[in-house]
Structure 1
Amino acid sequence: MGNILEEFWYGNINPQEQSKESNRAIKELIKLMGRNRDRLHDSMTAEQQETLEKYDDCVNEMYGLIELEIFSYAFRLGGRLMLATLMDSGEDA
């Protein structure tokens, strides 16, 4: 158990990256979003590009906060499930 905790502590375990790497649909959507954003950006004036970049910053910050909330909730839920499993008297088995 110590190894996984150390890996997590040192930042070697990153659930956000792992979910994106293993899901083909997410990878394809990210590519499509990037291409469309680039096309949109290239068609804008300098002022519009600056506004789009500020919008992107806000969206990225929001998604980061959402991912943190989901991760925290899921981690606590996993802990509660593990605790319930360990405290189960085994009468049903």
Structure 2
Amino acid sequence: MRGNIIEELHYGNIDPQDRGYSPKGPAKKASDSLDDLEEKLTEQLAGKNKALFLRFCNAYAEFMGESELDTFITGFHLGARFMMDTFLSNDAPFESFLEG
């Protein structure tokens, strides 16, 4: 990265989705299983059932994309609130013995 984070974001150098699954991790295994099952079902279905299943897959993918976006935004907001609380708040449950 060459500049500040806002500059990097502007130039498209930051992509939070630019990651892959760990080759032997549980997410990779689950993803491979989903791909395999979708392929097998698509091969076995025909006509209206196949079209219905493909519509389901597309709708589910769209829903998951929206859900991931919501999770990203919520996480970003939560992180910002942590930073605000850390740097802008002096609230603590106890008094400092160092301050007189």
Normalised TM-score (structure 2): 0.73
Higher helix share: 1
Q: Please name the residue that 2:16 is paired with.
A: 15
CA shift, 1:37, in A, is 1.1
Q: Please name the residue that 1:42 is paired with.
A: 43
CA shift, 1:69, in A, is 1.0
- For structure 2, the residue ranges without an aligned partner over 5 or more in a row are none
CA shift, 1:88, in A, is 3.8
Higher relative contact order (CA 8 A, sep 6+): 1
Runs of 4+ in 1 over 4 A off after TM superposition: none
Percent sequence identity over matched residues?
27
Describe the SS at the equivalent of 2:45. Answer: coil
CA shift, 1:22, in A, is 4.2
Cα RMSD of the aligned pairs, angstroms, is 2.7
For the residues of structure 1 that align with 2:77 and 2:30, how far apart are their CA atoms?
A: 29
For the residues of structure 2 that align with 1:52 and 1:11, how far apart are their CA atoms?
A: 35
Report the CA distance shift for 1:25/1:13 in structure 2 as closer, same or farther (over 3 A): farther
